[in-house]
Structure 1
Amino acid sequence: MDKKIFRLALPNIITNITVPLLGMVDIAIAGRLGSTVYIGAIALSANIFNMIYWNFGFIRMSSSGFASQALGARNFPEVMNAFIRSLVIGLGVGLLIILLQYPIGMLVSSLIQSGPESAEHVMTYFHIVVFGAPAVLGLYAFNGWFIGMQNARIPMMIAILNNLLNILLSIFFVFGIGMKIEGIALGTTLSQTISFMVAAAFWWRYYRRLRKYIRKETIWDRHAIRQYFRVNSDIFVRTFLLTLVTTFFTFASSGMGETILAVNALLMQFFMLFSYFMDGFAYAGEALTGRFIGAKNRMYLQWMVRRIFFWGLMVSLAAVVIYMFFPDPILRIMTNDLDIIAYTKEFMFWTVLIPIVGFAAFLWDGIFIGATASTEMRNAMILSSVVFFACYFIMTPLWENNGLWLSFILYLLVRGVTQTFWAKKALRF
C-alpha cells in the first residue's frame, strides 16, 4: 500500500512544491523592486486569484473523484463523461470571468484597505492575469482527470513547466526589460496559456484511444448531471469558505498597516509550503479512495487511510522541526529586508503550530473528495469558518495580529477534528 501511495504522492508533492516556490519567487522579485509596497501588492494580487480560482476548485476535484470511481468500476464511457463535463465547464467559466473582469475588479478594489499605491499595483496585475482564466480552469479539468486516472506524472510535468516558465518569464520581463509588477503578471499569464496547450498535447498523446468510449447521449444525462452538480455545489460552498477565510486573512492584514501585510505575506508562504506537501498525500488519497470505492474494496480503503495518516504525521513533524529551527534561510529567499525578517520572526510561533493542527484537514479533504462525500466536507468547512470569524472579531481587538493567527489555527484544528468524527459515515465503513 505504501508503494501505491508514494507512486501517486511523490509526483504530486513535486508538483505542489513548485507552486509555493513560485509564490516565493514572485515575492522575492517584488521584494527587490525597492519598496515593501510591492510585496503587499503581490500578496493581495495572489489572493484575489486564489479567491476566484479556488471557488471553482470543484472542476478539478469532481473530475478526479468521478474519474477514479469510474476507473475502479471499469466504466470507461463514464471516465470520458467526467473529463468532457469538467473541461467544458472549466473553459466556459474562464471565458465568463474575462467578460466580467471589470465588475469583478471594481469589487476587489473596494475591498483593498491598504494605500492607493498598493491598490493601483494590484489592479494592474489583475487586468493582465485575468486573461489566463480559461487556461487555468481548463488545466483544473485536465489535472483532476489525470489524477483520477492514477497518473500523477503528467500533472507534475505540467506544473514544473508552468512554474519554470512563470519564473523565467517574470525575471526576464522585470530585470531584463525593466517592467515592474506588470512584468510579473505577464509572465504568469503566458505560462498559464502555454501549460494548458501542453496538457492538451499530453492528453492527445496518451489518452486519445479512449475517444471510442464517448457516448454523446450520456455526457449530459439528466441524472448524472444532477449528481455532478450536487457534489459540485457542496464543493463550491466548501471552497468558497476556504477562499473567504484565506482572502479575508490577507485583507485583514492590510488593515493593520503595510508592515504587518508584508510580514503576514511572508508567514503565509510557510503555510502554503506545508499545504502543498500535504496535498501531495491528499491527492494520492483522492485517487486511491475513488478507485477502491469504485471497485467496492473496503479492506484496501481502510488500509490506505491508515497509511496516509501515518505518512502525513511524519511529514508534519519534519515541518515543525524545519520551521522551529531553520526559518532564516526561507525568509532570506523571499526578501533581503533585514527589518522585515526580524519583525516576521516575532510571529513564527504560529507557523510552527500549523503542521500539527492542520495536517488532518488536508488529508481528509482528499479522501472525502475521492469518495465524493461532499456533504460532510462542506459541513466541516462551515463549522470551522464560523469558528474563525467568531474568534477573529473577539480576539483581534485585544491581541491584533496574534489574534488573527489564533483564529486561523483554530480554524484548521476544527476542520480536522470534525472530519475525523464524520469519516466513518462519509466513507461508509
Structure 2
Amino acid sequence: MSPTSQRILHIAIPSIISNITVPLLGLIDVTIVGHLGSASYIGAIAVGGMLFNMIYWIFGFLRMGTSGLTAQAYGAHDLKEVTRILLRSNSISLMLALALLILQYPIRLIAFELIDTSAEVQQLATLYFHICIWGAPATLGLYSFSGWFIGMQNSRFPMFIAITQNIVNIVASLPFVFVFGMKVEGVALGTLIAQYAGLFMAYLLWLRYYRPLRKYISRKQLFTHDAMKRLFQVNRDIFLRTLCLVAVTVFFTSTGAAFGDVVLAVNTLLMQLFTLFSYIMDGFAYAGEALTGKYIGAGNRQELQRTIRHLFGWGIALSLAFTLLYGIGGKEFLGLLTNEQSVISASGDYFYWVLAIPLAGFAAFLLDGICIGATSTNIMLKAMVVASGSFFLIYYSLHNVLHNHALWLGFIVYLALRGIMQALLLNSSSLRTAR
C-alpha cells in the first residue's frame, strides 16, 4: 500500500469508527427506556433525540470550519495560529451554547408546535429536553475539539472520546433508572453526564499530548479582524449549506409520510442503507479535510494532487463494493430491520434507487472534505444550493406522475449534482496552495 493511502486510512478508519459509535448514545437511551413498560417513554426519547439531532446538526460548522483552518495552519507549521484557532472556536461554541440555554423555552415551544405527539409523550419529552439542553456547552465544545484534532491529523482522539461517552452513558444511566427509579429523567441525566465526560476527556487529551502549545495561549491577535472575518465566512457558508441539507432531509421524510405508512416505512428503511454508506464515506471526507488543509498550508501541490487522486481511487472502489453488496444482500439486510412483510414487499418497488446511491454520492462526500480542507466553503454552498434546488424542482415537476419515485429520483440527482458542481467549481477556481 502506498504511503499516501496509508495516511488516508490512518485518519479515515478511526473517523469511521467514531461515526458508527456516535448514534449509539441515542440507541442506548432507547434501549433502556424500552424496558420500562410503556411506549410513551420510547416516544419521548425518540422525539427528544430527534430534536437535539436537528439542533446540533445545524451547528456542525463548528467542527468542519475548525478542521479546515487548523489543518492549513498545521501544514504551515504555524503553532501560534493552531492554538488561536482552537481558542476562537471554543469561544464561539460557548457563546452559541449560552444562547441555546437562554432560548431553551421558546425553542421547546416552537419545536412541539411542529411535532405532533400525544400529551403524555410531549410531557416526558419536555422533561428530557430541559435536562439534556444543559449539555449544549459540552456538545458544541466537543465539536470544536473534534474539528481541531482532525485538523491536527489526529482522528484517534475523537474515536476514543466517542467510545468513552457511550461507556459513561451506560454506567450512569442504568443506576439512575433501575436503582433510583428516575425513568426518563434518569436517562437524560446519564446522557448529560456522558456529554461532559467527553468534553473533560478532550481537555485532558489536549493537556497530555499538546501541552507545549500552552505557551502560545494569549489574547494577543486572538480576535483580530482578519482572523474573525475568515472564521465567520467559513462558518457562514457551512451553516447555510447545512440548512439546505436539512431542508432536503426533512422534506424527504415528511413528504414520504404523505404517501402512507407503508411508503414511509420503506423510505425509512432504505435510507438506513444510505446512512451506512455515509458513515464510511464521511471517514474518507475527514481524511480529505485534514490532508488537503495540511498540504495547502504547506504549499505542497504535488502531494495535494496525489492525495486527491488516492481519495477518489478509494471512493470509486468503495462505491462499487457497496453497489455490489447492496445488490446481493441489501434485501436480506432489510429483513433484519423488520419482519413486516408488507414493508419488505413494497421495498422491492424502490430498491433499485438504493443501488444508485454509492456511485451517485461518493464524489459529494469526498469533495465536501476537500473543500473544507481548502476552506473553499463557498463552493460547497453554491453546489448545495443548485443541488437542493434541483431536488425540489424534480419532485414538484414529477410527483403527480411518479409519486414516491419522484422523491428518490430527486434525491439521486441531488447527490450527483453536489459532486458534479463542486468538481466544476473547484476546477475553475483551482485549489489554493497558499493561505
TM range (shorter): 0.7 to 0.9
- Per the alignment, residue 272 of structure 2 pairs with 269
Q: Match of 1:243, as an amino acid?
A: V
1:413 to 416, 419, 427: 416
Counterpart residue identity of residue 55, structure 2: I
Pick from 58, 61, 72 the counterpart of residue 58 of structure 1.
61
Aligned to 2:153: 150
Structure 1 residues 340-419: aligned runs within 5 Å: 340-344=343-347, 346-419=349-422
> What RMSD in Å do the two structures reach over aligned CA positions?
3.2
Paired letter, 1:427: L
The SS at the match of 2:220 is helix
Deviations 1:55-84 (A, max 9, x none): 211211121111111111111110011000
Aligned residue among 231, 234, 242 for 2:234: 231
Q: Aligned partners of 1:206 and 1:404: how far apart in 2?
A: 48
Per the TM alignment, residue 165 of structure 1 is displaced from its structure 2 partner at its CA by 4.0
Counterpart contact for 1:47–1:250, Cα < 8 Å: no
* CA–CA distance in structure 1, aligned partners of residues 85 and 187 of structure 2: 34
Maintained 8 Å contact 2:18/2:163: yes
Q: What amino acid sits opposite 1:285 in the alignment?
A: G
* Structure-2 change in CA distance of 1:17 and 1:255 (3 Å): same
1:134 aligns with 2:174: no
TM-score by length of 1: 0.88
Q: Which residue of 2 aligns with 1:310?
A: 313
Identity of aligned residues (%): 49
2:90 corresponds to 1:84: no
Cα distance change on mapping 1:322 and 1:178 into 2, 3 Å = farther
**Distance verdict in 2 for CA 1:22–1:194, change over 3 Å:** closer
Other-structure match for 1:98? 101
Question: In 2, are the aligned partners of 1:37 and 1:117 still within 8 Å (CA)?
Answer: yes
The answer (yes or no) to whether the contact 1:31–1:335 under 8 Å persists in 2 is no
CA distance in 2, matches of 1:192, 1:155: 13
Alignment-derived partner of residue 328 in structure 2 = 325
The change in CA–CA distance for 1:124 and 1:265 in structure 2 (over 3 A counts) is farther
Q: Quick one: distance in 1 between partners of 2:82 and 2:223?
A: 13
Question: Which deviates more, 169-178 or 90-99?
Answer: 169-178
Structure 2 counterpart SS, 1:427: coil
Cα offset for 1:385? 1.3
Amino acid at match of 1:287: A
Equivalent pairs, count: 429
CA distance in 1, matches of 2:337, 2:36: 12
Distance between the aligned counterparts of 1:11 and 1:105, measured in 2?
35
In 2: Cα distance, 1:253 partner to 1:34 partner: 30
Q: TM-score by structure 2 length?
A: 0.87
| 3-state SS of paired residue (2:375) | coil
Which SS does the other structure have where 1:64 is aligned? Answer: helix
> Does structure 1 residue 201 correspond to structure 2 residue 201?
no
Q: Give the match for residue 192 of structure 1.
A: 195
What is the deviation of 1:312? 1.3
Q: Is 1:24–1:334's contact at 8 Å kept on the other side of the alignment? A: no
CA offsets 1:143-181 (integer angstroms, 9 cap, x no match):
000011111111111112223444666677778888876
Asked whether the 8 Å contact 1:387–1:411 carries over to 2, the reply is: yes
Offset at residue 245 of structure 1 (A): 1.9
Of 422, 425, 432, 1:422 maps to: 425
1:390: Cα distance to partner?
2.0
Q: Shift in Å at residue 272 of structure 1? A: 1.8
Kindly provide the CA deviation profile for residues 293-316 of structure 1, in whole angstroms up to 9, marking residues without a partner as x. 011000110110010011012122
Q: Does 1:252 align with 2:230?
A: no
